[in-house]
Structure 1
Amino acid sequence: MEFSDKRMDGIEFRNCSLANAVFDDVNLAGARLTNFNLSGLTIENANIKGLKIFGYDVEAWIKEQLAKDGCHLD
């Protein structure tokens, strides 16, 4: 099933499986994820400004790691 060009603001998913789902050009700003299985999740080309996982600032941590590797985050 495919959802294209749809507004789903405020929608709630409860007790659902989205295994192997593909999210492309999706706005999750302000979304809240709780009790999630994210094993094997891949995130690429994402705006992570303000992203926190378990209260940790992910953007700042990734910037630190990239700096150690001589790279940068745009």
Structure 2
Amino acid sequence: MQIHDVFDVLEATRTTLSGSSFDDVNLSGTRFNNTNLSGASFNQINFAGATFNDSNMSGWFINDVNLSGLRLHNSNLSGAEFAGCRMTGAKIDGIPVQALLDAYNAAKRD
């Protein structure tokens, strides 16, 4: 099925669209409920203002992404790794990450 230059609302229920490709598509305001996006690839995507609730994001690889202003609450970050990330102003449970890193590095030197 191909849809080109269509400006309408699509409702898909109990539908399989696996292997589909979306390019230069405006999905702003779209709701995804009970949706399987495992193995999906997202490139040059604007998720500004998006909300993820009750979602399984285990095994995600996030690279070269702007997460400024991100707020994580009641989330499982077990085994998460942060490398080469700018953490200016970032906090963990209200404690600035830079203060935590400074304290850790000071303890290593002692």
Which TM bucket (shorter chain)? 0.7 to 0.9
1:32 paired to 2:80: no
Gaps of 5+ in 1: 69-74
TM-score normalized by structure 2? 0.52
CA distance in 1, matches of 2:55, 2:62: 15
1:21 alignment partner, one of 40, 58, 66: 40
- Total equivalences in the alignment: 65
Quote how far apart the aligned CAs of 1:55 are: 6.9
1:2 paired to 2:21: yes
Aligned counterpart, 2:63? 44
Q: Which amino acid aligns with 1:2?
A: S
Quote how far apart the aligned CAs of 1:64 are: 3.2
CA distance in 1, matches of 2:34, 2:59: 19
Q: Which amino acid aligns with 1:48?
A: L
Q: What does the per-residue CA deviation read over 1:9-43, in whole Å, with 9 as the maximum and x for residues that have no partner?
A: 10000001000000000000000000100110111
SS of the equivalent of 2:51 reads coil
- Larger RCO, structures 1/2 (Cα 8 Å, 6+ apart): 1
Larger radius of gyration: 2
TM-score normalized by structure 1? 0.75
Q: Which amino acid aligns with 1:25?
A: Q
Identity of matched residues, %: 33
Quote how far apart the aligned CAs of 1:52 are: 0.9
Gaps of 5+ in 2: 1-19, 76-86, 102-110
Aligned CA-pair RMSD: 2.5
